[in-house]
Chain A
């Protein structure tokens, strides 16, 4: 059973470009969570999604950031017009129905904005 998969593992973008981060949850998992880790800090919750629904986006910046989890395909975290402060590691986690306290993390995408 493959774990949570994220790609790309490393992403370099120039200021003003768009970044798209992908997350494929573990098989059978229908809940996806995105977290951001700034250098030397802990992870901060961004958004929680189920298939075709955003359940809680209280941790998402109000502008430039969006997330989706379509019926088919991976979850996408999209950052428009990136700025240097967006440089961070972005982690996706998934959990099964009924066991949402058990979150399994992917390896992360390290975004560098130059």
Chain B
């Protein structure tokens, strides 16, 4: 079945550092790919998405490019802030009877130190 593998955490960086969180996937067909962010005690928020190969999703300084040839969707940010501390989940959509269920990676906890 479809699956998502994320870089293991936790990841700790200093403010203004460059961030990469790796995500690779296994899927039949061409799923949409997503990054969700979860702040402490809250639900998931959609951070960005890409629906086809070579698409780049971007939001709040974060970017990820849908790479079909390497089956990857790595999350990057050029300069992180303390407020970016959260758990980040990579996910893909898996079609079920006309709708999509999400298949999530295990999450990567990111801590940014001032």
Contact = CB atoms under 8 A, between A and B. Distances in A.
Contacts of B96: 48, 55-56, 58
Contacts of B105: 42
B83 interface: no
A41 B106 contact: yes
Contacts, number: 62
A80 interface: no
A65 interface: no
B43 A44 contact: no
Interface in A38-53: 40-45, 48
A31 interface: yes
A56 B97 contact: yes
B101 A56 contact: yes
Given A91-B43, A105-B44, A55 B104 contact: no
A71 interface: no
Interface string B32-59: 1000100000111110010100000000
Interface in B54-82: none
Given A43-B44, A43-B89, A100 B97 contact: no
A100 B99 contact: yes
A103 to B, nearest CB: 6
B19 interface: no
Interface of A: 4, 6, 31, 33, 35, 40-45, 48, 55-56, 58-59, 91, 93, 95, 100-108
Interface of B: 4, 32, 36, 42-46, 49, 51, 89, 93, 96-107
